[in-house]
Chains A and B, each alone.
Chain A
């Protein structure tokens, strides 16, 4: 299989470099600088953070080019940007702009309700969200070089990210104990290519780095998903919607490194104020969920 060809190795190679780190959502150069100074390993440029998208509604699109440029000119760490699901033209513009990674994201309003972007057609690597193993493998089959849990973006509630990382890890473990002849039925069940199902059964992990996103608001949230198997975290609204972005950003960076060390987590959490206001997902109407976008 050509998942390991040179282009693909370069794409997932950059994701390898981000492991153990925190990728922070930023909407302008000033926030990007705060993120970099706090130790972010990359920033994600977007027009509005997910909690504002949730509050204001309307169509959420790729960030304005001038903002992305301003962010790219300000920081030396990798700059990612979001494109709408299926909006390959936004992705082509982002590639021409030379962003380092493209997030085909359910946080933005989908442009295509049936098809995701053909990510193999790009030299710029893509990250995509997933709620379960089948979704992750379908995105990888399309060319995604990094997977992140969808969680529920902008909710400040970790419960969905936990559900998704647990589901993905559990479904991978289950494959490793099955016989070869059983994998064909698994491929059908997960609606994912057999060769990828076989790869996961053999290795017990995804063929690309597996990160977590969607609801991380505290250092303990970050450490929690990492102990559950995530290799790095994305933090969206959690930092710049809190009352102390600098401290919180630094604390989450420390938590992503020392996720197995409760004493260090305590130190990281010590001086934090109040986190962003969170939402009880159970009280959200189905139509307001972001995680159900894409398939």
Chain B
């Protein structure tokens, strides 16, 4: 499977490494042509305001909307903000591909960033707890009926999926634990078979 990592800005290198660890072919994506040559896409962590500007500059925002109707996208942190339907604190436009309301920097500033152990919901495909790194992270304040919550922290959803897409408000790419990336890869394979 060839998985693209949007490399406009952010921790795309960490995502590429995590994807390679689970046996996927990871490629950096900066143009529409590079995007089309992939089976799925990761929107990494970073600054969502910066990414949104660069996406628009190259007309990639429109391309992504079309791509998302056909192929899976996994967003982490800033990527989750880009995929959400509504963004607050401050209000910001987004790609609106998942039925989520997201509040930016909802835990506070960098000093409020944290590493915690989170417990998957019953029925989620993770049997053991997951270490979650939150960095100036957003909080999912509301999710639509089609959204399935896989992991919560303090009662808020932090790993969710809706159809072929998935978002994490934490950074699985910054830990040695590859299960979240493995799970996304399985989703991509399932999608390719369907």
A and B associate: yes
- Chain A contacts to B: CB under 8 angstroms: 6, 9-10, 13-14, 16-21, 36, 38-42, 76-78, 95, 98-101, 123-125, 231, 253-254, 256-258, 261
Chain B residue at smallest Cβ distance from A98: B109
Choose from B47, B53, B108, B111 the contact partner of A42 (Cβ within 8 Å): B47
Which residues of chain A have C-beta atoms less than 8 A from B9's C-beta?
Answer: 19-21, 41, 256-257
Which residues of chain A have C-beta atoms less than 8 A from B110's C-beta?
Answer: 10, 14, 78, 98-101, 124-125
CB of A41 within 8 A of CB of B30, answer no
Which residues of chain B have C-beta atoms less than 8 A from A16's C-beta?
Answer: 10-11, 13-14, 45, 174
- Chain B contacts to A: CB under 8 angstroms: 7-14, 30, 45-47, 49-50, 53-54, 57, 77-78, 89-90, 92, 104-105, 108-111, 113-115, 133, 135-136, 171, 174
Knowing that A41-B50, A76-B49 touch, tell me 6 more A-B residue pairs with CB under 8 angstroms: A17-B11, A19-B10, A39-B54, A41-B47, A42-B47, A261-B30
A42 CA to B136 CA, complexed, in Å: 13
Choose from B7, B92, B133 the contact partner of A9 (Cβ within 8 Å): B133
CB of B49 within 8 A of CB of A36, answer yes
CB of A124 within 8 A of CB of B115, answer no
A77 CA to B13 CA, complexed, in Å: 21
Which residues of chain B have C-beta atoms less than 8 A from A6's C-beta?
Answer: 115
18 contacts between A and B (CB under 8 A): A10-B115, A13-B113, A13-B133, A16-B14, A17-B136, A19-B9, A19-B12, A20-B9, A20-B46, A39-B54, A76-B49, A76-B90, A76-B105, A78-B110, A98-B110, A124-B110, A253-B54, A254-B54
Which residues of chain B have C-beta atoms less than 8 A from A42's C-beta?
Answer: 47
Main SS class of interface, A: loop
Chain B residue at smallest Cβ distance from A122: B111
Chain B residue at smallest Cβ distance from A10: B113
CB of A17 within 8 A of CB of B8, answer no
In the complex, what's the smallest C-beta–C-beta distance from A76 to chain B, in angstroms?
6
Chain A residue at smallest Cβ distance from B77: A17
A123 CA to B135 CA, complexed, in Å: 13
CB of A17 within 8 A of CB of B78, answer yes
Closest 5 CB pairs of A and B: A100-B110, A16-B11, A39-B53, A6-B115, A41-B47
Which residues of chain B have C-beta atoms less than 8 A from A76's C-beta?
Answer: 49, 89-90, 92, 104-105
